[in-house]
Structure 1
Amino acid sequence: MRGLIVFSLFTVLAIAKPANASATNACNMIANAVSSASDVYWPGSIQYTNDVSHWANSSSAVSTCSVEPGTAEDIGVTLQILGSTNTSFAVKGGGHTTNAGFSSTAGVQIAMSRFSDVVYDGATQTVSYGMGLTWNDVYSALEPYSVNVVGGRVSDVGVAGVSLGGGYSWLTNQYGLVVDNIVGFEIVLPNGQVTNVTEANDPDLFFSVKGGYNNFGIVTQVTTRAYPQGQVWGGIVVIGGDQWDTINAATTKFQAEVTDPKAALQVIPAYDAALSETPVAFVLMFYDGPSTPAGIFDDYLAIPALNTDLSTRSFLSLVQSSPTHSTNSTRVVFNTASVTTITTGLLDAIVNETQFWSQELSNQSATFISYVIEFYLPSLYQHAAANTSAYPPTRAQGLLLLELYYAWDLPGADAIMQAATVQSAAHLKAVATSEGQDISDAPLYGNYAIAGTPVEQIFGDSLPRMRATKERVDPQNIMGLTGGWKI
């Protein structure tokens, strides 16, 4: 039985503390300075509660006040006040981060909820969307036009983190990452200036924001390419844990033989306390067409299932079919590992980790333990040229992502659960390395990585260019007053 090494991380405030006098002063200054399009809210109001709340309770904090800016100019005013008063702040889009302090703060919480427009331009075949939206909002708005964007796979995830962090999609095999398709940003720079950034007018800033999160200002809107979208086929099947060998055989065969870029797959060994005492497999299948060609998913479909939800449907319906709310209002942590291939040995190790940690952590109020295995074609990074985005820092080799996803109820278990994901990710990396995979420098995906991960492991060789750009646009390090992957 492996012992746990406690991994010290941010923990959310469990008890409200008195408001910081400096932050209170900044809140009052902001309230007096912004236009009527914006509002400042205080603890006790419904709006404040909505603004500071996150998908996972463990990511929320008790802020001094919340600000709902209604214009980019008011964000500029707010940033200038925060900088001049040296007040900590946080920016929340959809609120789906599992790292406490990344979009939460004891200072001033900025909620982007009023940036909620979705505009399709048929002439340029682009879509512009605000940073206060979820992917459900974007896909719902685009469905009447029969077009789509490269975006998130889970309906209630915010667009901000996915769009600014890299972004993997059901459409990635066809069109690349989310950042590969972005053609412009509206961003409020730390000095308060509102500007539209493209590759043509500021290539260094455009590069840096594509994957560089909130280091360079506050992005209010993204403009990205639109693609035709018809009916798709797919959904989810739940398979019992007595079928692991058959599932693993189907999975290695899929990886070896399926090269159709319209096909995508996630295999998720998972312990779900609400479903079963032992781990099961969630298999998510996607095909960008009304039916899937013979042979692509046949091996999975032949396995007896506990539950099946597969059909020809709209893209929106497909995304909404994912079980996104089962862990709402719990404590959650993600972690990740990047590998080059999924072998039978690695699959066995992942299943063993699921079984081991579901038992080991059952007395720590664990409610959900899963390992999301994401499959992509080796060409997934070739949809954009090298050195066109901060993430991925290299496009020389395709990677497959493992997302560790642990949920629990008791705040007292935070450090134990976080430590478990660190230990488990390291173990899986060691297994892959022992099989000959050269992943010592494989970049990690920031939206899955646990707090405390060195930024060098996310941004790699992009860091010098990012840091030079950061020094130019934020010489006073105002964006250093907020959390996230700081460079």
Structure 2
Amino acid sequence: MLFLRAVAASAILLASLAYADTCSTIEALGTIEVSRPVDVHYTVEQTEYWSISCSALLPSCILYPKNAAEVALIVKSLGNTTETFAVKSGGHNPNNYFSSVDGGPLISTEKMDQAIIDTATGIVDVGPGNRLDGIAAKLQGSGWTFVGGRIGNTGVGGLVLGGGLSYFSAQVGWAASMVQKYEIVFANGTVANVTRDSNIDLFKSLKGGGNNFGIITNYHLQAIKNGDVWGGNLVFAVRTPSLDSSLLGAVRDFAEYNTDPKAAVIVTGERGNVDLIDSWILFLFYDGATPPAGIFTNFTSLPHTLDTTRTRTYADLMADSNWVIVKAEVVDIATETIPLPSAANKQTVMDGLHAHWRNVSDTVLAVPGIVASIAWQPFPKAIARQAKANGPDLIDADDSVDRIIIEMNYSFLPVTPYDTMADVAEATYSGVRNRVVAWQADGTLPDAYLPLFMNYGFYRQDYWGRLRPESRALAKRVQQEVDPQGLFRTRTGGWRP
């Protein structure tokens, strides 16, 4: 009875403040933490974006709901205003306004950070306020782990809604493939649980559909069995053209010929004007204490400067991965997906695309603080097969070809004009795309469906235009059904179907 009275009182107060701003309305309730620009918590929260271009956008307040009911109160209040807003999980997406806002309320999921495992079934309740290293630490010793990304500081919310590429993806598909149930707050403030059986269209749309349908307050996920793993980095501090070709050939061959789904690699080139960096950094992973002999030989046999690979816990690997985050800089991330070239054409394609990246990045090496990187990430047929088996999802990748996902990053000091570097990012990814299309036209590369990977997408890229038309149509229809007034479509950032 007391709970019902409290709910009724909250509803009356919300109605009486129908035209107040959301920060003041929620503050008046007295049950949800509201942080203002003068508060320490506000300042700290604003430092936790990967890109300081997002940190520079100043919300009118930051709201810290603890559960779905409190998120629902906030959403109902937003419905009575015209404010722009944002929802923040880890803040790793560097696109301005996707999880950041200027002048409107920011909803932080920080307090929804539960990670509760049923050790008998491996089903884990995960809140969107978790980061990957935090979940790995919470599950350590349970015999299970979360299928997440590769950098520990990444937030769960954006990762899973975008699909989520994992070291475990060749075994199980996307991180989103593991979701069994979503707890979601819709634009009208109602709360629902969405499963394959309850609403198959919305369930599918939430896997690769981003923030178009509501605010997820809990993920009911299938974890996977996990013991010690083997992994770390190989560093090649001195780059040469022959090393470029050898590593690019090795990652191409790995994508085609590796048959062990427990093995994964990321091959990353980096260059910048700090200490004249021009190097390669490899991420090697095996889901087991020791990788089979020879599985990574094409990489490890090349002369390298540093080797941090070892047997360790998955939690240790996640905690140890955060060195890649460049602090106090603006970050642009873009992506492209390419079909795997044949062995006969690998030098033409792999070396050609890498040369293009080097040519574009040459033009910005004088930019203050610049670090340019390109990451070659195998997207073998096994990932598509496992995603289908554990689907459905909007990405809807087929296993007709092996692919590579390319991630292209630029980080730089904020004295450099944002739009200027955005043009550089666009020149980089569009140059990759144009070359791939031309090679497909002349037969150098196979024709193939090449979706963009949302988690690495740049705000100028056409994410929805690269999905299958039927996936886009489904998402658009579902969006209209669950948010007919366009709260999420028109008042917060993201890609719209």
* TM-score normalised by L of structure 1: 0.90
- Residue 333 (structure 1) aligns with: 332
1:214 equivalenced with 2:214 (yes/no): no
Matched, 1:485 2:491: no
Distance verdict in 2 for CA 1:134–1:306, change over 3 Å: same
Percent of aligned pairs with the same residue? 27
Give the gaps of 5 or more residues in structure 1: 1-21
Question: 1:255-296 deviations in whole A, cap 9, x for unaligned?
Answer: 34322111111111111444x425211111111111111221
Q: Secondary structure at the match of 2:140?
A: helix
Change (3 A) 1:440 1:23: farther
> One-letter code of the match for 2:313?
S
CA distance in 2, matches of 1:451, 1:393: 22
Alignment partner of 1:405 is 2:409:
yes
Letter in 1 for 2:229: V
Over the aligned positions, Cα root-mean-square deviation in angstroms equals: 2.1
SS for the counterpart of 2:309 is strand
Q: Where does residue 36 of structure 2 map in the other structure?
A: 42
Aligned partner of 1:156 in structure 2 is 153
Between 370-379 and 316-325, report the one with greater CA deviation.
Answer: 316-325
Among candidates 369, 372, 375, match of residue 372 of structure 2: 369
Structure 1 counterpart of 2:165: 168
Q: Map 1:185-224 to 2 at 5 A.
A: 185-224=182-221
Q: Secondary structure at the match of 2:126?
A: strand
Q: 1:199-348, aligned counterparts within 5 Å?
A: 199-239=196-236, 240-242=238-240, 243-274=243-274, 276-341=275-340, 343-348=346-351
> C-alpha separation between the residues in 1 aligned to 2:484 and 2:245?
56
Q: Hey, what's the Cα distance between the residues in 2 that align with 1:24 and 1:234?
A: 52
Q: Compared with structure 1, are the counterparts of its residues 464 and 250 closer, same or farther at alpha carbon in structure 2 (3 Å cutoff)? A: closer
Instruction: Select 2:422's aligned residue among 418, 421, 444.
Output: 418
User: Which of 118, 140, 164 is matched with 2:137 structurally?
Assistant: 140
CA offsets, 1:178-223, max 9 Å, x none?
A: 1111101111111111111111111111111111121111001101
Aligned-partner Cα distance in 1 for 2:64–2:326: 27
Find 1:63's aligned residue among 59, 74, 78. Answer: 59
Deviation per CA, 1:96-125: give whole Å up to 9, x if none: 011001111121111110001100012332
Deviation at 1:438, TM superposition (A): 4.6
SS at match of 2:290: coil
Gaps of 5+ in 2: 1-17
SS class of match (2:388): coil
Q: Residue 478 of structure 1: CA displacement?
A: 1.4
Cα distance in 2 for residues equivalent to 1:50 and 1:24: 27
How many angstroms does 1:311 deviate by? 0.7
How far off its partner does 1:84 sit? Answer: 1.3
Over 3 Å counting, the alpha-carbon distance change for 1:358 and 1:459 in structure 2 is closer
Partner Cα separation in structure 2 for residue 439 and residue 29 of structure 1: 54
Which residue of the other structure, out of 442, 460, 465, is the alignment partner of 1:457? 465
Structure 1, 320-329 or 118-127: larger mean CA deviation: 320-329
Q: Contact (CA 8 Å) 1:261, 1:377: kept in 2 or not?
A: no
How big is each residue's C-alpha offset from its partner over 1:166-187, in whole Å with a ceiling of 9 and x where there is no partner?
Answer: 0100000111111111101111
Give the match's secondary structure for 2:485: coil
8 Å CA contact 2:19, 2:80 repeated in 1:
no
2:317 alignment partner, SS class: helix
Mapped pair 1:476 → 2:479: no
User: For the Cα contact (< 8 Å) 1:131–1:220, is it kept in 2?
Assistant: yes
Structure 2 CA distance, aligned partners of 1:366 and 1:102? 24
2:419 maps to amino acid: A
Mean Cα deviation higher: 430-439 or 211-220: 430-439
Higher deviation after alignment, 259-268 or 295-304: 295-304
d(CA) in 2 for partners of 1:440, 1:125 = 36
- The alignment covers a number of residue pairs equal to 463
Distance 1:396 1:228, change over 3 A: closer
Q: How far is the alpha carbon of 1:362 from its aligned partner?
A: 1.9
How far has the Cα of 1:363 moved from its partner? Answer: 2.1
The amino acid across from 1:428 in the alignment is V
Structure 2 residue matching 1:363: 3-state secondary structure: coil
Is 1:364–1:413's contact at 8 Å kept on the other side of the alignment?
A: no
AA in 2 matched with 1:297: F
**Alignment map for 1:110-129 (pairs within 5 Å):** 110-129=107-126
Residue 95 of structure 2 is matched in structure 1 by: 99
Question: Per-residue deviation at 1:391?
Answer: 3.0
Choose the corresponding residue for 1:442, options 447, 450, 453: 450
- Taking the aligned partners of 1:217 and 1:256, their CA distance within structure 2 comes to 38
Instruction: Identify the match of residue 395 of structure 2 among 392, 395, 398.
Output: 392
- Is the partner of 1:427 in helix, strand or coil? helix
Displacement of 1:458 in angstroms is: 4.7
- Per the TM alignment, residue 323 of structure 1 is displaced from its structure 2 partner at its CA by 4.8
Aligned pair in 2 of structure 1 residues 389, 294: CA closer, same or farther (>3 Å)? same
Structure 1 position 24, deviation (Å): 7.3
Query: d(CA) in 1 for partners of 2:19 and 2:298?
Result: 58
Q: Corresponding residue for 1:381?
A: 384
Match of 1:17 in 2: none
CA displacement, residues 125-150 of structure 1 (integer Å, 9 cap, x when unaligned):
21111001100111001111021121
